[in-house]
Structure 1
């Protein structure tokens, strides 16, 4: 899915609806996905599928290292967005549409390119909605996850 990212590079904290335009973009910081992070997520969620937990199993399945849970990576991406150089005055996440394009392996480092794909006001004059488009890449530049997040944010001087 192609998205116009010809807008300005976003920076700053407390960005409101009026501060962004479709096509504006930013890149998150990076984060290493370690085996310890994968194990902690498995413990927390109860998802102990063998490709996440067993070095022997990953070899049987043709992977060189443990595979991170897709939802773990999505969770990390949300955290990277929330701690990026551009931060929105968010009210709530309204949902995600997401695709796992390639495996994320223990030892991979991820970061996301985020683009404002759409923006609209709501009936509530204090709030608006952004549709953010994400492309998540590993340390080799390969797109490994992608999708969109609808984010409710405050309007300027409201909320």
Structure 2
């Protein structure tokens, strides 16, 4: 599923089962989906409800198989993908493959554990792995890990959604 901007992410601000958000520098949404191993036959522009229906239809074909549906878009030179039930893209083998030749940031929340995890990968290798309890915990990443402002601008609202913590401006 391909879209632009964060409108669909905000539409799904409540993820009771958890989710995984993957950000890849310098990629198109289509390339990110390809590197994630998405089936081109099912890649199309869809709204959130259509994506849920697709996942339900594919799962109904084989009740024992869990189907990952990834919605993607781009912003500020980064492609992003969101799984709103599964954590397929959080697998280290997937992150290694997706990050070859680029930089990938991953945020995920597993509802069973309630923790939010941040990972940074560069050129197939892990650089950082940490629990995030508050969006402000990512502010040191720019200096510490050399992450630039555009990805921090992408990560901050996502962390707010993941942690359930939103900053309120006075």
TM-score (norm 1): 0.23
- The structure where strand makes up a greater share of residues is 1
Larger CA Rg, structure 1 vs 2 = 1
Query: More helix by proportion, 1 or 2?
Result: 2
